[in-house]
Amino acid sequence: MTAGVQARVLIVAKDDAVIGSLAEGLDRLGWRTVTARGPYAALTALADMKVEAAIVDLATGGSEALGMAERLKSACAPRQLPVIAIGDPGPELEPYGFDLTLAGPIHPAQAAARLETLVRTAIEEEEFELRVDTFAEHGRHLDPPEPETTPYNVLAIGEPAPQFLALSNALTRSGAEVVGAFTAYTAFDYLHERPFDAVVLWGGDTTQEALSIAAGMRRNTRLYHTPALLYLREETYVTQSEAYHRGVSDVASPETPEGETARRILELARSNRRQIAVRRALENAKDTGLMDPATGLFTRELFARHVGRLAQASRARSRQLSVCVLKVADRSDVTAARAGGWLDRAIPQIGSMVGRLVRAEDTAARLSPEVFALALPATGKAAARAAGERIAAVIGCTAFEAGEGRPPFVVEFDIGVAEVGPDEPVGKALEEAAAEAQRKVG
C-alpha cells in the first residue's frame, strides 16, 4: 500500500484469481481499491484509510474469511462498513454478518452498483441512529427499521419458456411469491399496482426488450431502486457491461443453474427490503409532531440540535459533512407575490418539494419563512452545491398562483454551500453558507 493513496473499497483475498480483474474494473469506475492478503493486512488498511466498503473472497479465504465481516465492521465502528462476500450466496452466510453475497465471477459494473446501494444504506442507518437520539431529547420515540417478514415478491417478466418456468419454480420452492408478466405493458401495470422486492427479466429471443424494461425502471423514481436480474436463455451478443449500464442489477448466464440464480434473486430482494425499511424509518420522523407544521421539515431549533450531533458523528466516523442554504431570491414577480400574500401561500408547497427532493439521509429544515437549509452527510462541497442547484432547478420549473388577473410566478433561490471542517463548529459553516446566499441578493 502506497502512502497517501486513499481507497474507497478494501478487497480481502489471498490471490488475484477471483478479484484481480474486479479490482481493476472498480478502479476504472472510480471505486479506488486496495487489496489485503489476510486479516491483519485488512485491519491495517482500515486504520490507515477511510474505506467505504469491503469485499471478501470466500473461495480463497478459507474458514478465516467467515468471521471477517464482523472483524472489519468492529474495526470501523462507529462508521458502518458494508461487507460483500464473493462465494456461494446461500442463506447460511447471513449469521456471519455479510451485507450481501454474490456468486463469482463478478462484473465490475455489477459490483459498483451493489456497492453504491450498500454504502448509501449504511449512511442512512447512521443517520437514523442520530435521529433516534435527537428525537429522544424531545420525548419522541422512533421505531427501528424492521424489514417485512412476508415472502419475497418477485415479478418474472418474459415469455413462458421452459428454462424461465424452471427458474420461477425454483423461486417458488424457495418460498418466494412469483407473479408472471408476458409483456412489458403487463409488467409495468403490475409494477405500478404493487411493490416487488425484485424483478427477473427473461432474455429469451427479446434481450433488447428486457434491457428496455430495465432502463425504464431506472428512469422511474419509484422503481429506481428495485433490483432486476437478466436471465439469459443462451449466449448473446449483449455484453454484461451493456446490461449493467442499462440498469440491470445482475446477469445469469445460460450455464447458471436455476437454484443458484434463484438464490441470487432472493439475495437482491433481501438487500432491497433492508434499504426500504431504513428509509421508511427515516420518513417516520415526520410523524413525531416536532416538524414545521407548514412544510413538514425540521424546525430551526430541531435542526440546530440535530446538525450539531451530526457534525460530531461525522468527525467520529471520518465522513464528510456539508451544509447548503437556499434563500428565496428577490425578483419583481416574487416581490409582488410577497406583497399580496401569495408567496406565503406557496411556501408550504415549496418546503414540501424541498423535503421530497433530498435523499433519505439528508436533513432539510426551514430556518425562516423564506430560507431553507440542508445538512448532507458523507457529501463534499461540490456534491452539496449540485444537490442545491438540482432542487432549485426543479422548483424553478413550478408555477405558483399569484391571484386573479396576474400571471403565475416562479421561485428561484440564492444558494450558499459550505463543508464542515474537521475542527470547525458546524455553526460557522452554516454562517458561511448563509453569507454566500445573502451576497447573491440583487
Where is 217: in which H helix or E strand? helix 207-218
Residue 327 lies in a domain: yes
pTM above 0.75, yes or no: yes
The 10s digit of each residue's pLDDT in 141-169 is 988 888 888 999 999 998 888 888 888 99
Burial class of residue 150 (count of CB atoms within 10 Å of its CB; 0-12, 13-18, 19+):
exposed
Predicted pLDDT of residue 133? 95
Residues 261 and 354 in one domain: no
Residues 304 and 268 in one domain: no
Q: What is the mean pLDDT of the segment spanning 298-307?
A: 95
Q: What is the mean pLDDT of the segment spanning 70-84?
A: 92
**Residues spanned by the domain of 66:** 9-104
CB 264, CB 102: distance < 8 Å: yes
| Range scoring the smallest mean pLDDT among 112-126, 252-266, 294-308 | 252-266
Assign 62 a pLDDT band (cuts: 50, 70, 90).
Answer: low
Residues 252 and 192 in one domain: yes
Write the CB contacts of 275 (distance below 8 Å, at least 6 apart in sequence). Answer: 117, 120, 121, 124, 225
Q: What is the mean pLDDT of the segment spanning 309-317?
A: 95
Residue 365 lies in a domain: yes
Segments in 49-183 forming alpha helices (H):
58-61, 68-76, 108-137, 162-173
Residue 261 lies in a domain: yes
The number of folded domains in the chain is 3
Residues 296 and 422 in one domain: yes
Predicted pLDDT of residue 92? 62
Query: 150 is written with which cell numbers?
Result: 412476508
Residue 215 lies in a domain: yes
Residues 92 and 170 in one domain: no
Which of these three, 239, 274, 309, is where a domain ends? Answer: 274
Residues 183 and 318 in one domain: no
Residue 143 lies in a domain: no
CATH number of residue 227's parent domain = 3.40.50.2300
Residue 349 lies in a domain: yes
Predicted pLDDT of residue 93? 63
CA–CA dist 213, 207 (Å, integer) = 10
Q: What is the mean pLDDT of the chain?
A: 88
CA–CA dist 375, 387 (Å, integer) = 11
Residue 221 lies in a domain: yes
